[in-house]
Amino acid sequence: MKNIKGKKLRSNMITYLIVIIAFVIIQGLSSGGILTNNIKGMLVPICAYICMAISLNLTVGILGELSLGHAGFMSVGAFTGVVVTLCLETSVSSGPLRLLIAIVCGAITAAIAGVIIGIPVLRLQGDYLAIVTLAFGEIIKNILNNTYIGLDETGLHFSMKDMNALQAAGGKVLLNGPMGAIGVTKLSTFAAGFILVLVVLTVALNLINSRTGRAVMAIRDNRIAAEATGINITKYKLMAFVTSASLAGMAGALYALNYSTIVPKKFDFNTSILILVFVVLGGIGNIRGSIIAAAILTILPEMLRAFSNYRMLIYAIVLILVMLGTNNPLLKRKIGEFREKIGLSRKAIDMTTEGGDRDGK
């Protein structure tokens, strides 16, 4: 038991170290002027996507339920963050403080959305659950597309129809339906992104290694057996789902405050899928894998810029080939043998692939 605990601790430390070292190196490269502007502009989105991947991995890998609407939570966090910063523009002058408030508010609203969505969704199972999360993601996008928020001396105004009534009063438009939010001050920095990644990572790893995390994983592996041992299924499932949602909300706020305009359409089904791709390629249930996959796959299209128009085509082909390659039984066995040779025990490998195998029964 002690041995396993020590191993886990070591593994977690390695993950933290990777993140910190990556930050130091990139910061160094950045101040050395080696990074191109394109790459520099992608640093904050990469941090946001890493947080999203960790957050989705909690749902897919630890809770074991497929979510196809995770961008919905990101969207809730993003627009909460934007509205909050725009409201506080005059009263809170410090940028980092405003960013912090925005991220916290984003996390809270996304968590509320997580509770509202989680209660009905978690009653379902398997592919039905997946399609309902997809539906919720689309509903959130659709509602935000029709939300108009304005601000004047009397306070916040809210409408689902159009902006006219709010504009006539002489207030400021914060959220303009499908046009989204315009004129947002860019508050997110790479350092803020790095800190958020560390926070999200700490929350996720602590959750996984806690009593709650073990209960959630027990439900994932065998719901009936878990229930029989007295685990409150609904409570723990909801707990994991809401945590995941609030982390996504934080990532959303960070992401949105990196741009001067942000539209609800940005967080559609394709974004949800993009994040799912990070999680699956990084290894389901493997947090470190998610981080690496999210970083590499966000930069990949940028790296493929040399192929100009063909880059998304190549991205698609790479995606298919990686899936075919990693699921090739022959290759899988070879990797297993190789790992055994270099001393990694079979058990460690099983633990990382376990989450995925369960679906294939």
Q: What residues line the site for other proteins (CB under 8 A)?
A: 60, 66, 120, 123-125, 127-128, 130-132, 134-136, 138-139, 142-143, 145-146, 224, 269, 273, 276-277, 280-281, 284, 309-310, 312-313, 315-317, 319-320, 323-324, 326-329, 356-357, 359-360
Instruction: Give the contacts of 340 (CB within 8 A, at least 6 positions apart).
Output: 346
**8 A C-beta contact, residue 278 and residue 295:** no
Give the nearer residue to other proteins in terms of CB position, either 184 or 240: 240
Give the nearer residue to other proteins in terms of CB position, either 98 or 266: 266
* Cβ 182 to other proteins shortest distance, Å: 19
* Cβ 292 to other proteins shortest distance, Å: 17
* Cβ 277 to other proteins shortest distance, Å: 6
Give the nearer residue to other proteins in terms of CB position, either 103 or 279: 279
Give the nearer residue to other proteins in terms of CB position, either 133 or 246: 133
Is 157 strand, coil or helix? strand
Phi then psi for 32, rounded to 5 degrees?
-75, -10
Give the nearer residue to other proteins in terms of CB position, either 152 or 359: 359
Residue 62 burial (10 A CB sphere; 0-12, 13-18, 19+): buried
CA atoms of 241 and 233, how far apart (whole Å): 12
Give the nearer residue to other proteins in terms of CB position, either 211 or 361: 361
**Burial call 63-82: b when 16+ CB within 10 Å, e when fewer:** bbbbbbbbbbbbbbbbbbbb
CA atoms of 293 and 276, how far apart (whole Å): 11
* Cβ 134 to other proteins shortest distance, Å: 7
**8 A C-beta contact, residue 81 and residue 257:** yes
**8 A C-beta contact, residue 229 and residue 250:** no
Is 149 strand, coil or helix? strand
Which one, of 258, 274, 270, 249, lies nearest residue 79 by Cα?
249
Give the nearer residue to other proteins in terms of CB position, either 34 or 273: 273
Is 85 strand, coil or helix? helix
Give the nearer residue to other proteins in terms of CB position, either 194 or 267: 267
Kind and range of the H or E run holding 313: helix 311-326
Which one, of 74, 44, 39, lies nearest residue 274 by Cα?
74
CA atoms of 292 and 285, how far apart (whole Å): 13
Give the nearer residue to other proteins in terms of CB position, either 330 or 342: 330
* Cβ 175 to other proteins shortest distance, Å: 15
* Cβ 313 to other proteins shortest distance, Å: 4
* Cβ 103 to other proteins shortest distance, Å: 27
CA atoms of 262 and 141, how far apart (whole Å): 13
